[in-house]
Amino acid sequence: MSFSQFTEKDYEVIDKAYQTLRASAEKRCANAAELEVVQRAFEFANAAHSNVRRRSGEPYMLHPIAVAQIVVDDIGLGYKSISAALLHDVVEDTDYTVEDIREHFGNKIASLVDGLTKIKTVLDNEQKTHGDSAQQSMQAENFKRILLTLNDDVRVVLIKLADRLHNCRTIEHMPEHKRDKILSETMFIFIPLAHRLGLYSIKSELENIWLRYNEPEAYQDIKARIDKSVQEQGAEMAQFIKPIEEALTKAGFKFELKKRVKTPYSVWRKMQQKQVAFEEVYDLYAIRIIFDADQNSQESERDQCYHIFSIITGLYRYMPERLRDWVKHPKSNGYEALHCTLLSESGVWVEVQIRTRRMDDIAEKGIAAHWVYKRNGYLGEGDYEMEAWLERIKEILVNPDVNALELLDIIHNDLTSTDIYVFTPKGDQRSIPKGSTALDFAYLIHTEVGNKAIAAKVNQRLVKLSHVLKTGDKVEIITAEDAKPQPEWLKFLTTRRARTIVMDYFKAQRKQTVDFGRKTLENTLASLGIENDERNLQRLQAVYGVDNREEMYYGIGLGTLSLDQVPDALKKSSGSRLSWLRRALHMEDAEQPVAAPQSAAETFVIGSSDPDGPRFSIASCCNPIPGDPVVGFKAPDGSVTVHKKACPVAESIAAMHGDWVVVPKWLEQAEDNSFLVRITLKGLDRVGMLNEISRYVSLVMGVNMRRLSLQAESGLFEGYIDLYVQSREILDQMIKKLSSIEGIESVIRTEL
């Protein structure tokens, strides 16, 4: 931010932006009194931010106005949230306090602003204390209290999402190290939150911004291909839609038909996940049929959706295995729709989404629309799922036994988990995280059902309690009065609620469990010939991420802390429960405290011969090569690890330790350095294909191959080549040439 006197033009720009917001707010406000609160909030914030500018040079007030615009247009919140959005930076950036906001605007708006201020404070400060475990624990506890607003008032998180979206829209004005931190944090925390809260349009825009900055070449290439495809097949899509419109009109439906194309991020992600080329991504196009459900009809909303389905599948062939009934089985974020994939006359597969107007509102505006319909007395199939998720988050947050340093990881895993749908013996549907066992399901039904469980029947077949469930299973739990929880259950229980109940049960026997754990560890160390001394015990404590020795013995006694990693752990400490973080940074266990990293704004040249420069290592999780967009993390010992910006491990590190971020640059002359990459090939097999591929790679390009694996079957071949290249430019040149060889259908870079 900077300060300089506003000009008349600045005031005109602010007024124009506010008038647009006011017009939108007027539609959401119930009366003139509510609109007057919005007006006062604008005037208050405008005066507080007077003569303050953003990095871009524009008046700072344009930011809160833009956030409020997203709050009303994209999320559909009311006057209190609009006002809080306008005021959200006042307490943080000016001399005004929360009490000042309370005095002028009342308790609710003040509490929303207070929650937003705390979120900003924690996100700005939580990375600054990684060397002090007590401070780190305190910051995690702060984050825990902030996330409780999901239960106390979800609007705080919704407004924060709007704030994050606008910051990402203007992220080009940020320095690179700050941009990397914000985008990683966005992917790790805010995109999953937007998904869980049902905000599809916000989620999609954040994903595309993330891809545009982290994989700019991939983004531009995919976007150009999508645009070209839309231009070439626009007339064909119009021909596909016309018979559908005519048939639905004839059937008496009142509907709106929208065309949608997959976003660059969704195409890129599918290419990454399935390791396929752009041409192999199906359902590039989607048609959305949004109809007004007939409330007087004897048919339910779902029946009306299927009525439309029967009409359109009478016109076009559909793919049965691609049918998705999200009306009968809503997603965990409340999403409802009927999806099918139809084959057009020109041979293009087109996804068709069938929704009522209510379903569409919830799909676009998420939980805010869900509240509106619930308030008006309308409960859809998806209401149970959304409420159940909020309850599950509350259970995690209020649990006093959750290790504060694990919290962010726990929340992220819960946000990104995929749910499956199973049924009780009476046919009631329940959602449960993918990977859950029959015993997890027992505890989902009731604590006592879990505690007394001895076996289960899944689809009428007797199975063990450790049996992993899948969507559509009908589950019956078999109990016995004399049954009780067993320690080995903790080895296969996956849901946090079930694990917490079982661990609480064993707390009554804590002393015996601690003694058993101590003896087990002593015996293990003795069998390995390792000293049972203070130094080794401290290192193990750090590996397990426990606060004291008793907790470690207790976990070992319960079986929740595995002894399998002891030999490696005492050779090289992995630091804490967040061991994935230290492994990603290649950090060795330090004998003495070390200094914190220097300023995150530092720029380093990868491969520099400067003897005073930092040690560099290339992260094995993503294997970046010269030309890839990269981010670096400077560990406390001064070493720097280089990751791709799109690497999930890098996102996690930057989200939690933003002040470790540095800006690495590739050395321009790097002929002496080679980097290992993998390319995957698919195509039609023919005589001499393997020779032609290997000849081009080795002789023409002069590239050293480490491994070549190609398999042919029924006239098709598929496989990969691991090779060493000096830069991404050389790799791209080779991929382009290989793609032109007769019979090769796709050549893509994949992870090792």
Show which residues are catalytic. 92-93
Helix locations, 609-727, DSSP H: 648-656, 689-695
> How far, rounded to the nearest angstrom, does the alpha carbon of residue 614 sit from its chain's CA centroid?
32
> What DSSP letter does each residue of 385-447 carry, written as one string?
HHHHHHHHHHHHHH-TTS-GGGHHHHHHHHHHPPEEEEE-TT--EEEEETT-BHHHHHHHH-H
Tokens standing for residue 342: 């139809």
Phi, psi of 7 (to 5 degrees): -95, 175
Tell me if 302 sits within 8 A of 348, measured CB to CB.
Answer: no
Q: Give the residue among 413, 339, 335 at the shortest CA–CA distance from 367.
A: 335
Q: Give the residue among 394, 336, 338, 397 at the shortest CA–CA distance from 370.
A: 336
Tell me if 464 sits within 8 A of 363, measured CB to CB.
Answer: no
Amino acid at the residue 739: S
How far is Cα 280 from Cα 274, in angstroms, rounded to an integer? Answer: 10
688-727: burial string, b at 16+ Cβ within 10 Å, e else: ebeebbeebbeeebebeeeebebeeeeeebbbbbebebbb
Tokens standing for residue 412: 């992220």
Q: 313 burial class (0-12, 13-18, 19+ CB within 10 angstroms)?
A: middle
Tell me if 251 sits within 8 A of 228, measured CB to CB.
Answer: no
Tell me if 741 sits within 8 A of 701, measured CB to CB.
Answer: no
How far is Cα 339 from Cα 305, in angstroms, rounded to an integer? Answer: 10
Q: Give the residue among 172, 268, 281 at the shortest CA–CA distance from 215.
A: 268
Neighbours of 237 (CB within 10 A): 18
How far is Cα 306 from Cα 741, in angstroms, rounded to an integer? Answer: 47
Count H helices and E strands in the chain, helices first: 31, 21
How far is Cα 223 from Cα 624, in angstroms, rounded to an integer? Answer: 23
How far is Cα 172 from Cα 645, in angstroms, rounded to an integer? Answer: 16
Tell me if 676 sits within 8 A of 720, measured CB to CB.
Answer: no
